[in-house]
Structure 1
Amino acid sequence: MRDYKLCCDGDELRALDLYVWNMQVSAAFGETIGFLEVALRNTLAGRMHARHVRKRRSGSWLDDPAGELAPRARADIAEARRRVLGKRKPLTADQVITELNFGFWRFLLANQYRTTLWPDLLRGFAHIPGSDQRSALDGRVRRLHDLRNRLAHHEPVWNKPLEDRARDARDVLGYLDPVAASWWNDRHCRIEALLDACPVVRPRA
């Protein structure tokens, strides 16, 4: 509680209020990032499948028959397959895809794929503006992935630029599907209300 107390000038009750608020806003970001992760995963998996079919390759894109994926990505796929088998589920592409973590999908947007995978993946983001689209998307997803890792380890986030991360999430969802983004943000996202209710004045950067 040390950092919370320091922020609250030693007032233990205010520090506890801030601690509880941190838990609440963390949960709200977890909900939104979880929704975004599923949407991103489904989009990227769909584009990778379409690319695989267009190039008339055998098997599944997860087999990486052309050797286009980085060693780390291939290792993630192998681990996902082991998890599927460990759960005694059928080793289908859909089951493997559900076992791949956010980091796997994030790294498909990396600069190393800009001339190979990206031109096909871009088709999944019909509403992304600007000229350097890959870099803009990659930066936003990378920052959300970093935040998600903090949330997973129950680390404090009250002193992070949460308004910026909320904007990143809104942007990425909008790039994917503006209708789904509006539905989520208007009806289910709790982040904005919680940011307005923070019991202390937080840093913005």
Structure 2
Amino acid sequence: MSSPRLPPAAVQRHLSAPRLAPYVAACSGDLDRAVDLYRWNAAVAAAFWEVVGHGEIILRNAIHDALTERHGRSRAPGEWFDDPRREFEPRALDDIAAARRRASRTSPNPPPGKIVAELSFGFWRYLLARRYAPTLWPAIRHSFPHLPRGGRNDLERAVIRLHLLRNRIAHHEPLLRENLPARHADLAYLLDAISPAVRAWALDDDRLAMLLSDRP
């Protein structure tokens, strides 16, 4: 048996008028449509959260593998994120230190993979920045065998946009003005650069297309 429909005015009261305001404005004041649009926004956000999550983990592992291989060739002790070549900027070093602290809460000597998993999407985004083009990028580039020649700038911009989208979703913000088909294309570009096969696995194109076309 389906549950009774909550009147739109009650939904607004429980969610708060300010939270629903962007949806009401997008529906020219129609509260019924605004509530439907809010539910649609939540469904689209959940779908993107899933696939962007896949993209974040795949990107993280691709960069980690490339820098681990580079570090191994140098025969330096420790791990690449110990920064033996003193290449990382203060922000990155702060992120690594914070990841170590979080990883150490459950293990006094956390394995490298645990520390890497604690590093945020923003950390990996900044490793693709131009400042690291002469140092880290030549090694990272090998993890993107299908990236067009000279595509670091395009890759960085796509990852920046995906990071911003992820943050909007994480804060339950409206996606009404977000170019969602373009963000889908950004994710496809990132994953295709690593492996078209992994892109096919990670992206549920039909589900996203149906949701995007079903906006109230």
TM-score of the two chains, using structure 1 as the length reference: 0.92
Please state how far the C-alpha of 1:172 moved relative to its aligned partner: 0.5
Number of positions where the alignment pairs a residue of Structure 1 with one of Structure 2: 197
Consecutive unaligned residues in structure 1, runs of 5 or more: 200-205
Give the structure 2 partner of residue 203 of structure 1.
Answer: none
Residue in 1 that maps onto 2:6:
none
Q: What residue number does 2:182 align with? A: 164
**Alignment pair present for 1:117 and 2:136:** yes
Deviant stretches of 4+, over 3 Å? none
Per-residue deviation, 1:59: 1.2
Instruction: Give the TM-score normalised by structure 2.
Output: 0.87
Is 1:35 the counterpart of 2:65? The answer is: no
Deviations 1:64-84 (A, max 9, x none): 011011111111110001001
Q: Counterpart of 2:87?
A: 68
Task: Structure 2: state its 5+ residue gaps.
Answer: 1-19
Superposed, 1:37-116 pairs within 5 Å as 37-88=56-107, 90-116=109-135
Residues 126 and 175 in structure 1, CA contact (< 8 A), matched pair in contact too: yes
Deviation at 1:176, TM superposition (A): 1.0
Q: Which has the larger radius of gyration?
A: 2
1:130-188 superposed Cα distances (whole Å, 9 cap, x missing partner)? x43110100000000011111111110122111111100111011111001112335x7
- 2:166 is aligned to 148
Which whole-Å CA distance do the structure 1 matches of 2:97 and 2:202 have between them? 33
Give the structure 1 partner of residue 10 of structure 2.
none
2:145 is the counterpart of 1:126: yes
1:19-30 map, 5 Å: 19-30=38-49
Which of 191, 197, 203 is equivalent to 1:173? 191
Any idea what the Cα deviations from partners look like across 1:54-112, whole Å, max 9, x if unmatched? 12211111110110111111111100010011233642111100111101111110000
Percent pairwise identity? 43
* Alpha-carbon distance in structure 2 between the residues aligned to 1:41 and 1:190: 25
> How far apart, in 2, do the equivalents of 1:89 and 1:182 lie?
39
52-61 or 100-109, which deviates more = 52-61
Amino acid at match of 1:145: H
Mapped partners of 2:49, 2:87: distance in 1: 32
